[in-house]
Amino acid sequence: MTRHVVVVTAGLTVPSSTRLLADQLAEALTAQVSARGEAVELQHVELREIAGELATFMTTGGIPTPRLTTLREQVAAADGMIAVTPVFNASFSGLFKMFFDALDPDGLTGTPVLIAATAGTARHSLVLDHAMRPLFAYLRAVVVPTGVFAATEDFGSHGLADRITRAASELAAAVLSQGDYSVGGFGPDLAARPRRTSGTQVESDVTPFGDLLRGHTGND
């Protein structure tokens, strides 16, 4: 059975250290999943490519473009996610936040997520625990224990490679376990998790607006 993992990156330049880190994490995840005799399909989402569509979503009261609708559905159907952001003003970037604001509130419920960030200095490393973990906890995702932070000087180091391997191993275990994954003996039953929704489908039992207004004169 092939698992599907969405890789979200919020880098703004080409080439981007954020995309470089995301690619290393994705490669490590593929290796970890393959070592377990399974397969994984990766869906890369470069947020800079949909920046205009995210702005449109925010300024139209939450009306998604066709491309954003497709991405919302892919996220809701994914078995896992890798989320990587550059650090802006001691937190994740505004573009990164806009994407997760544009998802359905239940789109990541129970989804295993590996968080990672890049910055020019190690002084920003607390962004993982002070900004990213609270965001994904609010979205009811399952964040793996090891987050990966990479300052400019970290690239090419053994320390970063070790962190990437450890985090990828944890995400692979979470994605493949289908409910048996736990942290410290405690973990959600992913097989019994609440239904995730993309927010793009209209429920069949929606009451027509005309029926809701029937009998009202407008004078109330």
Q: Which 3 state secondary structure label does DSSP give 54? A: helix
Say if CB 65 and CB 20 are below 8 A apart. no
Rounded to 5°, angle at Cα 31 from 29 and 36: 100
Helices of type H across 90-214: 94-102, 127, 133-138, 158-177, 209-213
**What pLDDT, on a 0 to 100 scale, did the predictor assign at position 213?**
72
DSSP 93: -
Is it the case that residue 147 has pLDDT exceeding 80?
yes
Q: pLDDT > 90: what percent of the chain?
A: 78
Contact 96, 132 (CB under 8 A): no
State pLDDT tens for residues 162-195: 999 999 999 999 999 854 444 444 344 544 445 5
Average pLDDT of the residues of the chain = 88
**For the chain, which domains are there?**
2-213 (3.40.50.360)
Q: State the pLDDT at residue 58.
A: 95
Give the per-residue pLDDT at 203. Answer: 54
Q: What is the pTM of this model?
A: 0.83
pLDDT in tens, 52-64: 999 999 999 999 9
**Alpha-carbon span 170 to 192, nearest angstrom:** 20
Inter-residue contact 125 to 137 (CB < 8 Å): no
The token pair that represents 43 in the structure block = 């869906």
Task: Write the pLDDT tens digit of every residue in 11-53.
Answer: 999 989 999 999 999 999 999 999 999 999 999 999 999 999 9
Query: Which residue is associated with the tokens 């991405």?
Result: 71
Which of 164, 128, 171 is CA-nearest to residue 24? Answer: 164
- Start-to-end Cα distance in the chain: 58
